[in-house]
Chain A
C-alpha cells in the first residue's frame, strides 16, 4: 500500500522520461531522445558540477554547526533554552526563495546593511550573488535540519557516559567528539544524507542568488527545460529527475552500510534514565552563547529582518529613507484579497491538523518496520527517500497527473485532502527518519519484557515504546508542521480557488507585478509558525521534564 503511494509518482516520472511527448498525448511514442538530448547537453554537466560543489559546501557548513548547537543545547545547562530552541529552528520556516530574498534586502548590493557597512568600512567584502554566497546562505540555513535530528537523538541519550567523561576531566569539546558524537552516529548520518538531498533540491536560493549571473544548478536547469522549448518539455524534465533518482540510490545504500549494526547504538536499555544536564561554567556559557548568537545573527536576524522590512516598505535601496517609506499599505492590500486571507487559514489547518495525521501514519509505518529485519524493511529504506529526491517542480506535476488520471483519486482533487496526501509523501522521509532514529535507541529487551509479561504487540508498542520516544514524536510533529508550511512546489498545481495555501501562493505572486503581497505573506507565515512552534515546544518541554 505504502509502496504504491510512493512509487506511483516515481513510476510516472520514469515512464514520462522514455517518451517523446506528454504521456497523455496521442502523439507520444516510446523514445530515448530525451536522454540523448540531456546527456549530450553541456549545460547539464555544468549544472551537475555546480550542484556538487554547492551541496558539498552546504553540508560542510551545516553538519558541524548543527551538531555543535545540538550538543550545547541538549547536554548543558544553557540559559534561555526554550527561546533559543525556537530561534535555532527559524531558518527552516522559510522557503529558500523567501530566505534568499531576505538576504538580498539586508546584505545584497543595495541592502541596508551593505550600505551602512560602506559608510564605515568602504567596499563590502562579501557578494551574495556568487556560488560562494549561495553556498554559505544554504549551509547556514540548513543547520536546523541537522540540529533537529541530532538533538532529538541526543536528548534520548542517558548522560551517564558524558558525566563520567567530564568527571575524568574532559573538556566539553572532548566529551562531544569522543563520547556524544559516536553515540548519535545514526542521526548524523541521516542528517548528512538528508542535507545532501536537500542541497540537490534547493531551488529558491540558486534562482534568486545564482540565476541572474548565469550560475545554474540542476533545479534551475529543470526550470529552464520547462520553458526553453516554448511548451513544457515534460520528457526532458523527467529525464533529469530520473538522473537525480539514480544519484540517490547509492547514497541510501551507503547509509545502510554505515548503520548495518544499529544495535550498537541502543543505549536506552532496560535500566538507566535520562538525567540532568551538565554544567558549562561561566566562561563556557559565554563562549557557547557567542557561538549560538553569532550563528543566529547571520542566519536568522539577517534574512528575517530583510523580509520584515520589505513587508512594511514598498521602496528600498540606496538613497531611500526607509523610515519615510514605512506603511501598512501592503498589509491592507493582502487583507482586502479574500484568496490571500483564505490561504492563511488553510495553511494552519493543513500544517497542524494534517501534520498530526501525518505523524500518526508515519509512526505506524515506523513501528511496523523497525524490528523487521526482512527484505521489506530494506525496500522501505530505499522507498521513502525516492520522492525526496525528485525536485519540487516534478513532484508537483506528478501529483497533478495522479489526481487527474487515477479515477478514484479524481473526486478529492480540489480539496485540502489531496494536498495533504501529496504533502505526506513529500514529508515522509523527514518524519519517518526522525521517528526511526529515536526508535533505534530503544533496545528490544523492553518490548520483549512487555511481551513476556503477556502484552500483545500493539500493547507493547503503545505502553512501552511510544512513551519512550515521545520527544522524538514531538520533534517529528514540529518538523512535519514546518515542512508543510514551507513547502511550495508540491502544491502549485493542486491548490485551487478555496484551497489556496501560502507557500505555493507566494511563488505565483512573485511571478508578475511587484513583491509587496509576497513579502507580507512571507512575514505572516513566519509569525504563524513562531506561534505554532512555541506551543509545540511548550508541549514537548512538559513531556521531557
Chain B
C-alpha cells in the first residue's frame, strides 16, 4: 500500500513537470469538466466562469447535499459509471472516507504543492478554502458588545441572560453530518468548555436544525437569538447582506473546516479535471473564491491563509486536522457514543 502510494506519487511528480500548455490542450479536447459539489452556486459560479473564460473548458456543476454526494460517488464507482471529474465537498470527513476507499487520484503540480501542509492530504485531497466555525446572533435583540468572546463568559451569558431562554439554536449533530463534524471537533480540541456550553444551551432550551440555511434564517428573523456551531463563512456572507445577523467568533478557541476537493481516480476527463483542480488552487481561483465568501486555503504573497482568516474573524483559528483521525467520525461506535452524550447534554 505504502509502496503503491509512493510510486503513484513519483509518476504524478513526473507528470507534473510536463508543460501546462500540453495539459491545457488535452483538457480543451476533452471539452468540459464535471464537478460534483456541495458549494452553493453563488459562491462557486464566479470561479467556474473565470475558468471557462480562461481555458474555454465548460464546467458542469452538479449541486448536491453532502451525504447525497457521498452516496452518488460510491454508487457510480460500484456501477462502473463514474460521472464526476472533480469532487468538491465541505464534508471533510466524508472526503477523507472517499480517499481511503480509493476514489481520489494522486496529483502533484505547481499549484497543489503551494498549499500549506495542513491543507493537503497525501497529494490527493486539497483544501480549497478554510471556513471558521462560529456563532451567529440577532442584532435586534443583542448588542454588538453584549456577546462575550470567551467560552467561559459565553457559557455564563447563555445561562443567565433572560433574552436567550428558549431562543438558542444549534446545528443538529445527530441528523447532519456537517454539524457532527463541527461539534465533535470542538469537543475533541476543547472538551471541558465544549461540554459545559452544550449543557448550558440545553438548559436554555436549545432548538436543533439540520440545515445551515434554516438555522441562519431563524436567527435573522429573531425566532432564535443566538446560534452555536454554524459555518462562520456563511454567517459572514449573510451579515454582509442582512443587518439582522452578525457572525461571532470566540478568542480562546475557534476551529476552521476545510472544504476539500479531489480528482476522481476514474475521472472520464482526467486532463480537464487536473486543469480545473490547478485553477481552483491557483492565486487567481483562490482570490475569486475568497471574494465570494470562501476564504482562501492558500496564502497570498507574504501572508499565510490563517493570518488572513484572523483578519476576517478577529480571532486565531485552528484548522481541523486533515488526516486519518477524521475517520473516527464515521466509526459507528464512536459516533453513536458521541451523539448519545450530545443529546443528553442538550436535553434531548
Which A residues form the contact surface with B (CB < 8 A)? 22, 24-25, 104-105, 108-110, 207-208, 211-214, 220, 223-224, 226-232, 314-320, 329, 333, 337, 339-340, 397, 400-401, 404-405, 410, 413-414, 492-493, 495-498, 505, 507-515, 517-518
Contacts and interface: CB of A to CB of B under 8 A. Distances in A.
Contacts of B176: 227
A108 B222 CA distance: 10
Given A24-B78, A329-B241, A508-B63, 6 more contacts: A108-B221, A228-B174, A230-B335, A231-B94, A317-B220, A400-B72
Nearest to B330: A230
B213 to A, nearest CB: 5
A208 B209 CA distance: 9
A108 B214 CA distance: 13
A104 B220 CA distance: 13
Contact of A513 (B40, B71, B222): B40
B234 A514 contact: yes
B222 A211 contact: no
A512 B72 contact: no
Given A232-B70, A492-B68, A512-B234, A497 B75 contact: no
A339 B223 contact: no
A319 B140 contact: yes
A397 B83 CA distance: 16
Interface of B: 34, 38-43, 45, 60-68, 70-72, 74-76, 78-79, 81, 83, 90, 93-94, 97, 138, 140, 169, 172, 174-177, 180, 207-214, 216-218, 220-223, 231, 234, 237-238, 241-244, 329-332, 335-336, 339, 348
A314 B339 CA distance: 34
B87 to A, nearest CB: 14
B207 A510 contact: no
Contacts of A397: 71
Contacts of B34: 497
Most A C-beta atoms less than 10 A away, residue of B43, B72, B79, B212: B79
Contacts, number: 183
A234 to B, nearest CB: 8
Contact of B331 (A230, A339, A510): A230
Given A212-B169, A214-B348, A507-B65, A512 B211 contact: yes
Nearest to B329: A230
Contacts of B38: 511-512
20 contacts: A22-B74, A214-B208, A220-B175, A223-B175, A227-B67, A227-B180, A230-B335, A231-B94, A317-B222, A397-B71, A404-B76, A404-B78, A410-B79, A492-B64, A497-B34, A497-B62, A508-B65, A512-B39, A512-B211, A512-B231
Contact of B177 (A211, A230, A337): A230
B242 A315 contact: yes
B70 A511 contact: no
A228 B339 contact: yes
- Main SS of chain A's interface residues? loop
A517 B243 contact: no
A368 to B, nearest CB: 34
Given A337-B41, A511-B213, A512-B38, A228 B335 contact: yes
A227 B65 CA distance: 12
Nearest to A228: B174
B237 to A, nearest CB: 7
A510 B65 CA distance: 9
Contacts of B244: 315, 317, 319-320
A24 B79 contact: yes
Contact of A212 (B45, B61, B209): B209
B216 A514 contact: yes
A315 B92 CA distance: 31
Contact of B140 (A320, A495, A508): A320
Contact of A316 (B81, B216, B220): B220
Given A227-B180, A230-B177, A513-B42, A208 B214 contact: yes
Given A404-B81, A413-B81, A228 B60 contact: no
Given A25-B78, A228-B175, A404-B79, A211 B208 contact: yes
Contacts of A317: 138, 140, 220-223, 244
B210 A211 contact: yes
A513 B217 contact: no
A401 B212 contact: no
A314 B242 contact: yes
A378 B75 CA distance: 35
Contacts of B218: 212
Contacts of A231: 67, 70, 94, 97, 330
Nearest 10 CB-CB pairings of A with B: A230-B330, A317-B221, A497-B60, A24-B78, A404-B79, A212-B207, A317-B222, A319-B140, A513-B40, A110-B221
A207 B207 CA distance: 12
